[in-house]
Structure 1
Amino acid sequence: MQYRLFCSIFCAGLNLGAAPLLSHEFWIEPEKYQVNSGDPVVARLRNGQEFNGAEQPYLDHRIARFEVIRNGSAAPYKGRMGDMPAFSADETDDGLAVIIHQTQPQTLTYDTWEGFQAFIDHKGFAGIPGQHTARGLPGAGFSEQYTRYAKALVSIGSGAGSDRATGLETEIVALVNPYTDDLETGLPVQVLYQGSPRPQAQVEVFAKAPDGSVTISTQLTDVRGETIVSLAPGHSYLLDAVVLRPAPKGKDYVWESHWAALTFAVPEK
């Protein structure tokens, strides 16, 4: 048992450390996005690409914030070291539950420019190479610090309620409830950065069909930091938006990335 726990923690550390170099996403994946009142809510932390990824255990030294928000009230979540799934709650009240998970910052080093270029191309940061050169930074052997901010929306019983800003450095907020509101014209969302709307932010949309196939698209937010995501019944969704900014002076890394993720599902008609 101790050997399996060590392996799960060690392997998870390797996966998390390599993630941003390959533009991997990090998200919360509920076992069920809709549960009956009183039933347990179970969710996994995942790290990977194209809405498919390796499960990560509960690692308290990697967690900056882990909470469940119901009816506007936040309650911290505390698991056990090595738990997989990382989240399991037996006491579930009726309504919309918003699970949030913020990682501790971690650092990676780019040994080649190509790895960094692949990341910034994927996430739509066209101006970063010019900024990198203007700052006199090297083309290889430089470091980036990254932090993840994941949210998941789970419907319990009636699923009534709403998502809201939670004070994360960056986050994606669903402006309507995907379980109870009219989604005929799609789901409006807003991308926030330091509590303010983030205009012209690239939102990557991963849509997983009931058969497990995934389609991927990108769209930009408007001047209010908003965009409308087209949805299909029976699909689950991962939305991802990344902030990349220069590191403060004096740090041993030169860039900071902040990754916002939101997961939810659309009920079958």
Structure 2
Amino acid sequence: MARWRGMLLGLALALPQSLWAHEFWISPETYRVAPDEPILVHLRVGENFKGSSYAYIPPNFTRFDVVMGDEVMAVEGRAGDRPAMNMAVGQEGLAVIVHQTRAYDLTYNEFEKFVNFTKHKDFTWALDRLEERGLSGQKVRESYTRFGKSLVAVGNGQGADREVGLEIEIVAEANPYTDDLSAGFPVRVLYQGAPRANEQVELFARSGDEVVVSQYRTDAEGRVVLPVEAGVEYLVDSVLLRELEVQAEGDAAWESIWASLTFRVPE
């Protein structure tokens, strides 16, 4: 078992990241707007902070809101709208855009891709569990749901992010538009309201066409301080993998839930 697992992990290291990394994120056209201007937001899926824009399709999401302090406003649109959000909030402050997709199903027709996914997202324990659960040699089936947030400054941009009740979420503990970030940008990762301790957090930093990817780990309280620079757009990503009970042939054996947070540090 150990030899088999080691050979697969070696193969994972040799293959390009694009085979297994497909993040979801909320992508505003601009991160600062006037109170009477619409916030234009794309929903994107891709790798290395580059991806296709998806339209406003109500059956594909279970939540799409703007949160400003204690006020929660539903994002409304017409099916097929692109960008997916075109909405003015009519007040100043920090707008937290929140989006939760429906659950999707995925079958890994090439086992190496599942190996690569577990390596990239720090879930290599799942390889051992395949054999322990009697699933080795079968196609790997997974269910996945995405939970995205994005921070947009409306007018003065004052305010704070907060927990918004997502099953997995990243909470910004500083305001990128009003706070001093010289010591870094603190975030907290939560799962079902509890801190995710000692878990991997991935940071994508985009400046122009260049994207730099780095990885960090949360502390015992689910916190991590991320290095940021002025004029750079950021995507913070954290993923959780859990087992599902297989009751019938074709059932998903795994479920991944993905949290993302986007923002841009002003120049």
Amino acid at match of 2:165: G
Query: What corresponds to 1:14 in structure 2?
Result: none
Query: What corresponds to 1:194 in structure 2?
Result: 192
Aligned-pair identity (%): 45
Q: Deviations over 1:76-126 (max 9, x none)?
A: 112111111001103431000000000000101112220100111111112
Q: Does the Cα contact within 8 Å between 1:21 and 1:110 map onto a contact in 2?
A: no
Question: Secondary structure of the equivalent of 1:231?
Answer: coil
Instruction: Give the total of aligned pairs.
Output: 248
Amino acid at match of 1:256: E
Query: What corresponds to 2:157 in structure 1?
Result: 159
C-alpha deviation, 1:75, in angstroms: 1.5
Q: Deviations over 1:157-208 (max 9, x none)?
A: 1101100111111010001111101101010000000110001111110001
With normalisation by structure 1, the TM-score equals 0.89
Q: How far apart are the structure 2 equivalents of 1:208 and 1:92?
A: 29
Q: Does the Cα contact within 8 Å between 1:190 and 1:225 map onto a contact in 2?
A: yes
Q: Which runs of 5+ in 2 are unaligned?
A: 1-17
RMSD: 1.4
Deviating beyond 6 angstroms after TM superposition, the runs of 4 or more aligned structure 1 residues are none
Q: Does the Cα contact within 8 Å between 2:92 and 2:156 map onto a contact in 1?
A: yes
Instruction: Summarize the Cα distance change of 1:148–1:51 in structure 2 as closer, same or farther, 3 Å threshold.
Output: same
Question: Secondary structure of the equivalent of 1:205?
Answer: strand
Query: What corresponds to 1:258 in structure 2?
Result: 257
Query: What corresponds to 2:242 in structure 1?
Result: 245
Query: What corresponds to 1:69 in structure 2?
Result: 67
Q: Does the Cα contact within 8 Å between 1:243 and 1:259 map onto a contact in 2?
A: yes
Query: What corresponds to 2:3 in structure 1?
Result: none
Q: Does the Cα contact within 8 Å between 2:35 and 2:88 map onto a contact in 1?
A: no
Question: Secondary structure of the equivalent of 1:168?
Answer: coil
Q: Deviations over 1:121-172 (max 9, x none)?
A: 1111121111222111133413100000000000001101100111111010
C-alpha deviation, 1:212, in angstroms: 2.3
Q: Which runs of 5+ in 1 are unaligned?
A: 1-19
Q: How far apart are the structure 2 equivalents of 1:50 and 1:140?
A: 30
Which of 207, 210, 216 is residue 213 of structure 2 equivalent to? 216
Q: How far apart are the structure 1 equivalents of 2:39 and 2:98?
A: 14
Q: Does the Cα contact within 8 Å between 1:153 and 1:264 map onto a contact in 2?
A: yes
Question: Secondary structure of the equivalent of 2:116?
Answer: helix
Q: How far apart are the structure 2 equivalents of 1:212 and 1:223?
A: 35
Matches within 5 A, 1:118-133: 118-133=116-131
Query: What corresponds to 2:226 in structure 1?
Result: 229
With normalisation by structure 2, the TM-score equals 0.90
Question: Secondary structure of the equivalent of 2:130?
Answer: helix
Amino acid at match of 2:216: Q
Q: Does the Cα contact within 8 Å between 1:112 and 1:139 map onto a contact in 2?
A: no
Query: What corresponds to 1:145 in structure 2?
Result: 143
Question: Secondary structure of the equivalent of 2:166?
Answer: coil
Question: Secondary structure of the equivalent of 2:165?
Answer: coil
Q: How far apart are the structure 1 equivalents of 2:138 and 2:183?
A: 45
Which of 73, 85, 99 is residue 101 of structure 1 equivalent to? 99
Moved more, 141-150 or 34-43: 34-43
Query: What corresponds to 2:26 in structure 1?
Result: 28
